[in-house]
Chain A
Amino acid sequence: MTRKKRIAAIAAVGASALLLAACGSSSGNSTPSSGSSQGASGATGSAEVFSWWTSGSENAALQSLFDATKTAYPNLTLVNAAVAGGAGTNAQQVLATRLAGGDIPETWQTHPGGALGDYVKQGVVEDVTSLYTQNGWDKAVPKSLLDTITYDGKIYAVLTGVHRGNVWWYNKKVVDGAGVTVPANMTFAEFEGIAKQLQAKNITPLCLGDKDIWTAAMVVEETIVGEVGADGWKGLMDGSLKWSDPKVVQAISDAYTSLGWAQKDHKSQDWTGAVASLAQGKCAFNVMGDWAYGELVVKQKLVDGTDFGYTFLGDPNTFVTVSDAFVEGKGSKNPAGAIAFMSTIMDKTAQVNFAKLKGSSPFRTDVDPSSLGAYQQVAAKTLSSGVLVASLVHGQALVPAADSQAFADATTLLEAKGDAAAFAKAMDTAFATNK
């Protein structure tokens, strides 16, 4: 055989191997959506819902939305494309390739604030202001929350529910057993006093699970919010208040003190482990958003009021928001499907059902919360009547996502070195450079 023929033969063999692999596998389609775009009420075909809610209560809550959509739009099939991990970072990784490649999902999960702003800048999400005005949603939700999903006067997302970030949970039995009284809300000085009393009885004051640094960052953030107040926090976010302001530095330093009260194995635990430690009475307090409520009640089977309680640092009416948003992808195959799903999210019944399963407060403040648990009713009330500030740790604030990352990195260094001034300096630099 001549050399050329040999080369051709090899190429043929190689190609047929690949072909065999192709034929052997089921014919793969990239995305299954093939929908037509009629009005949302007659939405048909399929639509892809891209999220990171893959297990447990999150998945149950997502399924409730799927079921509600199925009831309202029987001809629409929703495809659940979820990727877990990294609190959405894995999903972000996949989404980036899809956006770059033009394979846009109908709707996907994101956070209001920096992450949403990034999508708006890239021009990959649709303006849904008309949905709000047509359905009157803009009157049914807290204005300050609406602002976090509004850019240039246009609204770009719907929220599934709102969690509260700044809650100090505590094990009632442990605390009562030590003869300590916990007020309904406390100053840091009071908290420090409580901690010292607990330490005198050999009780670890703080349950912390910061293998993922965001839990420690939450301690820092909620302490700052508690000490400088809602206005102070808003000032920090919009740049009118500098992080190196003495009040803020003091709060950072106090947060560092709190971190020092953590149990020995905090670096090997994730947040669920810390909640478990709280439930088992190994430590007294846990600073966590109210997604911990579901963990305490459902997984650890504790009773609100008997086994555990909660309090707040600073003004109890200051509500740090942590919420999840869904957007309408621009250039997807079935925009009507996306609109259908988003409309379902905002449906009053769906909102309440979602809240029941996820443990968050409904985004709409005009729903009837009486079927929700006791804690949730209180939270929902604070949501509608309190002062709302967006969490930086969870990327909810209207600042670039890089600032949230800077906050997390600064917390890592704070934990190791305890230098509050350096923390403040790093944050001022970050806010100045990241635009």
Chain B
Amino acid sequence: MTDTLVAPSRSRFRKPKSTMSHEVHHQAFGKKSRRFQMALLVILVPVMMVPLYVMISAAFKTSANADVSTMWQLPNPISLDGITAAWKALSPNFVNSFEMVIPAVVLSCLIGSFNGYLLSKWRFRYDNVIFTLMLVGMFIPYQSVLIPVVKFLQLVGLYGTIPGLVFTHVVYGIPITTLIFRNYYTATIPTALVEAAAIDGAGVLRTFWSIILPLSAPGFVVAGIFQFTNIWNDFLFGIVVIPNPKMQPVTAALNNLSGTQTVDWNIVMAGALIAAVPTLVAYLTLGRYYVQGLTSGSVK
């Protein structure tokens, strides 16, 4: 990749005013182009929100009104039936989901970042083969591995427990988090940096801890977003690993809102919105860390 960080001093040119990455990108465009981009953004918002409008308006309708034939109409009257019923059905399981997601995301992202760092900076013979092997296996439909997974968890005594579910998600999250970080580090962390650390006597772990991790923020944002969404919205492992409905994650409760007979769409839609809130909060929190690392200037 690129080692062009050792840029010659450009003091004879007028330097751009700021060093925030988006501002740098921004300056590549003229005013007219920038206005056009903004207009495009503003137009895209309602377009993308069309399905959400249907969902939100259905969530606030009465059961009789929440139907496909009235999907475009605003709620009239506005009803909180959906929200209250959904909250009542979902809230007991929220705690389970949190207890499962947070350790699972943290662990799988940490492991993934460490693996990604190894695969991108501590190359070895056939490492590409090993990486491909790690990655390709996860394409198997999980329906076919359910029974062996359950048997294994029973063997180690983790069946029916939240740590068992955490363990399952961490294991099946390793390939993708490794992929995310490996490509991220290949793209953004120059090998020279690690070489320099090695020359200073730092080993694998030490380099990881003091050099790589601080530069990994955007990588953790992406991996965190992916894993949080994936694990929070997981349904299959949630119902299979934990058979006790009281301990199941929120997705199981959400699924149970629609039975095979009469479905109250206002409750289902409200439930989906409620269930999405933690994920959205996660996006908001993680989004703050879309900050460029401290690469610039750290290589002499």
List chain A positions with a Cβ less than 8 A from chain B: 3, 6, 10, 14, 17-18, 20-22, 24-32, 52-59, 79-85, 87-88, 90, 93-94, 96-98, 100-103, 105, 268-269, 272-273, 276, 280, 291, 294-295, 298-299
10 other A-B residue contacts (CB within 8 Å) besides A14-B107, A82-B245, A298-B262: A18-B163, A26-B247, A30-B160, A55-B257, A56-B262, A82-B256, A93-B143, A100-B150, A272-B262, A291-B261
Residue of A nearest to B99 (CB): A25
Q: Counting CB contacts under 8 A, is B74 at the interface?
A: no
In the complex, what's the smallest C-beta–C-beta distance from A221 to chain B, in angstroms?
18
Contact status B244-A54, CB under 8 Å: no
Known: A21-B166, A29-B160, A58-B259. A276 touches B67 (CB 8 A): yes
Given A10, A55, A83, which contacts B261 in the complex, CB threshold below 8 Å? A55
Q: How far is the CA of A101 from the CA of B67 in the complex (A)?
A: 42
In the complex, what's the smallest C-beta–C-beta distance from B204 to chain A, in angstroms?
8
Residue of A nearest to B147 (CB): A100
Number of interface residues of B (CB under 8 A): 43
Q: Which of B5-13, B20-28, B75-83, B235-243 sits within the interface?
A: B235-243
Contact status B166-A55, CB under 8 Å: no
Q: Which residues of B contact A30 (CB under 8 A)?
A: 159-161, 242-244
Known: A22-B161, A28-B247. A97 touches B150 (CB 8 A): yes
In the complex, what's the smallest C-beta–C-beta distance from B37 to chain A, in angstroms?
36
Known: A30-B159, A97-B240. A84 touches B107 (CB 8 A): no
Contact status B262-A299, CB under 8 Å: yes
Point out which of A26, A97, A102, A299 has the most chain B C-beta atoms below 10 A from its C-beta: A97
Known: A18-B166, A28-B161, A100-B150. A83 touches B244 (CB 8 A): no
Q: Which residues of B contact A102 (CB under 8 A)?
A: 154
In the complex, what's the smallest C-beta–C-beta distance from B237 to chain A, in angstroms?
10
Contact status B245-A94, CB under 8 Å: no
Q: Counting CB contacts under 8 A, is B103 at the interface?
A: yes
In the complex, what's the smallest C-beta–C-beta distance from B58 to chain A, in angstroms?
14
Q: Which residues of B contact A268 (CB under 8 A)?
A: 68
Residue of B nearest to A6 (CB): B205
Point out which of B164, B166, B256 has the most chain A C-beta atoms below 10 A from its C-beta: B256
Interface residues of B in 226-263 (CB under 8 A from A): 236, 239-240, 242-245, 247, 252, 255-263
Q: Which residues of B contact A85 (CB under 8 A)?
A: 255, 258
Q: How far is the CA of A100 from the CA of B151 in the complex (A)?
A: 8
Q: How far is the CA of A98 from the CA of B244 in the complex (A)?
A: 12
Q: How far is the CA of A97 from the CA of B242 in the complex (A)?
A: 11
Residue of B nearest to A48 (CB): B243
